[in-house]
Amino acid sequence: MRHTRTARFLITKLGGMIAVLLLVSLATYLIFYMIPADPARFECGKICSPGTLRQVRAFMGLNEPVWRQYLSFLGAIFAGRTYGSGPSAIVCPAPCLGYSFQQHETVMSLIGQTLPVTASIAVGAAVLWLAAGVAAGVVSALRRGRALDRGVMTVAIVGVSAPAYLVGLLAILLFGFKLNILPDSGYVPLLQNPAQWAFHLILPWCTLAFISAAIYARLTRSQMLDALGEDYVRTARAKGLRERRVIGRHALRNVMIPVVTLFGLDVGTLLGGAVITEKVFSMYGLGALLIGAVQSTDLSTISGVTLLAAVFVVVANFIVDVVYKLLDPRVTA
Amino acid sequence: MSLDTTRGLPERAGTPAVAAARRTGALARLLADRWAMAGAAVALAFVLLAIFAPVLSGITHNDPYTYHTSLLAGSGVPNGRLGGVSSAHWLGVEPQTGRDLFSIVAYGARISLLVGVGATVVATAIGTALGVIAGYSGGPVDTLLSRFTDLTIAFPQLIFMIALGALVPASFPRQFFMIAVIGVFGWPSVARVVRGQTKVLRNRSFVVAAQAVGATQLHILRTQILPSLGSTITVIATMSIPGAIGTEAALSFLGVGVTPPTPSWGREISSAISWVAVDPWYLAAPGLALFLVTLALNTFGDGLRDALDPRIAGRLR
């Protein structure tokens, strides 16, 4: 019985996710390929010979009807695509998000080079901000005192008002130049040297986490205070459970429900923050790729990166929904 | 002895929001809130700075565009202490070019406030319309609009804003593009709160009474619902401005905001990156300006919310 309900929940959510993904891909396609009067002209770049323009137009399939263009755009993501024919043909394996004429590479391989940088920043910062925010909130709720209380509130409003790049630059100034203990720029691939990878990412992680952790601390604190006054916590204590178990199993589980909801909404913000952070710390990530593409009007790369970002957020929200269900079995689709 | 000339006269109504504030004593609460008042004072100072930017820079015969390379050392770093602060250049000069930093910050305030307020107006208009429709109609319309709102909130907005910049012709004024794009992505938080409030209002007795006497939907929306939403909308609009200012600065910081040589705080902060080791004061002027105006508006917004409409417990950024 319970299994069928869980299965139904998963199927409904999965169906919803696929519907949203299709809508998002359609919107991306329409925005970047339909709004410009001549997308090929954009994609071809500032210096563009008529021959190249003709080739670009054929590659992008702009001579076909619109619905067909969109279907081949969508099909390429699942099945790959071959641009052109004969010896000059370019094979774009699945998942194919297009081909950048300006950089002479498939968009996916451009993304493959830059995604690890942005993902490293985003995932590490998210872990840090959730851990630090929830821990600070729990501690301040348990030791409810005037000084600590006001401290958290003050840090929270400073955290909201301080832009990521400002915190980052101050961190560079303090730890990079004055104290000279942490690297202030550059990215070392994880597989090349894990220790250096983490070492170079300490400042970016702390910068990005600081902005949001304070909000999570405030939310956790108020939720925790509510939970501690609830009957189930009193019951758990009355049963003679140890305090650690009462807080950890009974109170915290309920506190995490709104925290997880908020995090689902913040995934997109996290990605934006990572883009800003990588610029502050001179790392070449997705943001740098996107901004470069915007400046040279490289439409294939722009639409590929935005579609990927949207897919990431939609999938992350699906995961959040599933975690939510695990935390709160009463939730139905 | 005080002479109260209004005693015995009917209360002057003024605008609905002011009337509501008087009735509930909200204005008194707001005036008593020291933090909110400090925030208001700082924000007002920045508004004056923006309005009188030409006059204030004119005192020292400066503008944000003229190069003063004679004030720079060979490496491009300003001569003198604190980034070249002097009686002629109150905040020092920009490294490499020697442009007057006070003028840049003052003119930059114009862009920040214009985009911040403009985008908020756009976001509030869209958000109020969609929020009222969703909250008032309920049912499938509400479900659909709410899903759409959630999706837009979760969306990687900054990435989309950067990407859309590619589609705008270079001749189109960049600040208006920023107002449009920040406004178009900023409506969901307004819509959420307005929807919630409308749902509450819809079941209040005065609305039910209006329906009972046969008022049309449009009439109810215009005369019953919207005036009651006034304070909510005021609060949420105020609280949205700092976020919009921050987004403008972020886009300019990333190099896709207003185009040079129009002064912008975000772009100045971005150029300060490469100078932060040798001339940290270059970062301080635009950085502090951005931080102060955001902090001031956040504090004022918090105070306004507590005074006017404590029910809005929703999360706003």
Over residues B52-81, the mean pLDDT reads 76
Mean pLDDT of A268-296: 87
Strands A99-100 vs A105-106: parallel, antiparallel or unpaired:
antiparallel
Compute how many other C-beta atoms are within 10 angstroms of the C-beta atom of residue B188: 24
pLDDT at B77 over 50: yes
Q: Across residues A89-105, what is the average pLDDT?
A: 81
Q: At which residue do the structure tokens 């998210």 appear?
A: A126
Cβ contact, residue pair B159, A264, below 8 Å: no
**Can you give the pLDDT at residue A44?**
76
> What residues 127-186 of chain B have any CB closer than 8 A to a CB of chain A?
150-151, 153-160, 162-167
Q: What is the C-alpha to C-alpha distance for residues B120 and B190, in angstroms, rounded to an integer?
A: 10
Q: Give me chain B's average pLDDT, please.
A: 81
Q: Are B238 and B300 in contact (CB under 8 A)?
A: yes
Q: What is the pLDDT of residue B121?
A: 95
The pLDDT tens digits of the residues spanning A203-255 come to: 888 888 887 787 788 788 888 888 888 888 888 888 887 877 888 777 888 88
b/e map B232-244, b = 16+ CB within 10 Å: bbbbbbbbbbbbb
- The pLDDT score that the predictor gives to residue B19 is 57
Whether residue A160 has pLDDT greater than 70: no
Q: Phi then psi for A90, rounded to 5 degrees?
A: -120, 120
pLDDT band with cut points at 50, 70 and 90 for residue B13: very low
The C-alpha of A157 sits at a distance from chain B's nearest C-alpha, in angstroms, of: 7
Of A180-194, A315-329, B16-30, the least confident: B16-30
- The predicted-structure confidence for B22-65, as pLDDT tens digits, reads as follows 556 777 778 877 888 898 999 999 999 889 888 877 777 777 77
For residue A331, name the pLDDT band (cuts at 50, 70, 90): low
Q: Report, as an integer, the average pLDDT of A308-323.
A: 86
What is the distance in angstroms between the Cα of A239 and the nearest Cα belonging to chain B? 35
In tens, the pLDDT along A7-57 reads 888 888 888 888 888 888 888 888 888 777 777 777 777 777 787 788 777
State residue B48's pLDDT score.
Answer: 92
Q: Is B253 in contact with A279 (Cβ distance < 8 A)?
A: yes
pLDDT at B16 over 70: no
Mean per-residue pLDDT for B222-227? Answer: 83
Q: Report the gap between the CA of A89 and the closest CA in chain B (Å).
A: 28
Looking at residue B112, what is its pLDDT?
A: 92
| Predicted pLDDT at B201 | 87
Whether residue B271 contacts residue B21, with contact meaning beta carbons closer than 8 Å, is answered with: no
pTM for this predicted structure = 0.83
**H/E stretch holding B175:** helix B174-202
Which residues in chain A are closer than 8 Å to B256, comparing Cβ atoms? 291, 294-295
Separation CA A159–CA A106 (nearest Å) = 39
Q: Among A70-74, A144-148, A325-329, which stretch is predicted with the lowest mean pLDDT?
A: A144-148
Q: Where are the alpha helices (DSSP H) in chain A?
A: 2-29, 39-44, 50-59, 66-79, 107-142, 146-161, 164-171, 194-228, 231-238, 243-245, 252-280, 286-295, 299-327
Contact criterion met (CB < 8 Å) for A169 and B272: yes
Q: Is the pLDDT of residue A103 over 60?
A: yes
Cβ contacts below 8 Å, chain A against chain B, sum to 126
Q: Using an 8 Å CB-CB cutoff, list chain B residues near A306.
A: 156, 159-160, 163
Any chain A CB within 8 A of the CB of B188?
Answer: no
**Given this model, what pLDDT does residue A295 score?**
85
Sign of the C-alpha dihedral computed for residues B183, B184, B186 and B191 taken in this order: positive
Q: Do B246 and A299 touch (CB under 8 A)?
A: no
Q: Residues 6..25 of B with a Cβ closer than 8 Å to A: which?
A: none
pLDDT in tens, B95-110: 877 788 888 899 999 9
Of A157, A264, A310, the CB nearest to B298: A157
- E-state strands within chain B: none
Nearest CA in chain A to B313: A219
**Average pLDDT over every residue of B255-268:** 87
Q: Which two tokens stand for residue B299?
A: 């504090």
Task: Give the span between the Cα atoms of B174 and B181, in whole angstroms.
Answer: 11
Q: Quick one: average pLDDT of B146-152?
A: 85
**B183 or A221: whose pLDDT is higher?**
B183
Q: What is the dihedral of CA A167, A169, A172, A174, to 10 degrees?
A: -70
Q: Which residue has the higher pLDDT, B238 or A233?
A: B238
The pLDDT value given to residue B117:
94
The larger pLDDT score, comparing residue A65 to residue B311, is at A65
**Looking at beta carbons, which pairs linking A29-33 to residues 24 or more positions away fall under 8 Å?**
A29/A69, A29/A70, A29/A73, A29/A74, A29/A303, A31/A303, A31/B164, A31/B167, A32/A299, A32/A302, A32/A303, A32/A306, A32/B163, A32/B167, A33/A60, A33/A69, A33/A73, A33/A299, A33/A303
**Phi, psi angle pair for A285, to nearest 5°:** -120, -160
In this prediction, residue A231 carries a pLDDT of 82
Q: Which position has the token pair 């997109």?
A: A268
Q: Between A152 and B102, name the one with better pLDDT.
A: B102
Cα A25 to Cα A3: distance, rounded to the nearest angstrom? 33
- Whether B282 shows a pLDDT value over 90: the answer reads no
pLDDT(A304) > 80: yes
Buried b or exposed e, range B29-68, using 16+ CB within 10 angstroms: bbeebeebeebbebbeebeebbeebeebbeeeebbbeeeb
φ/ψ (deg, to 5) at A65: -65, 155
Predicted local distance difference test score (pLDDT) of residue B6: 39
Residue B272 has pLDDT above 60, yes or no: yes
Residues of A in contact with B157 (CB under 8 A): 268-269, 272
**Around Cβ B223, how many Cβ atoms within 10 Å?**
13
Reported confidence tier of residue B114, pLDDT bands at 50, 70, 90: very high
Please give the average per-residue pLDDT across A81-98, as a whole number: 78
* Nearest-CB residue to B290 (from A163, A280, A293): A163
Query: What six digits make up the tokens of A231?
Result: 């009957």
Residues with Cβ within 8 Å of A86's Cβ and at least 6 positions away in sequence, in order, are none
Q: Which two tokens stand for residue A35?
A: 């709004």
Encoded amino acid at A297, one letter = T
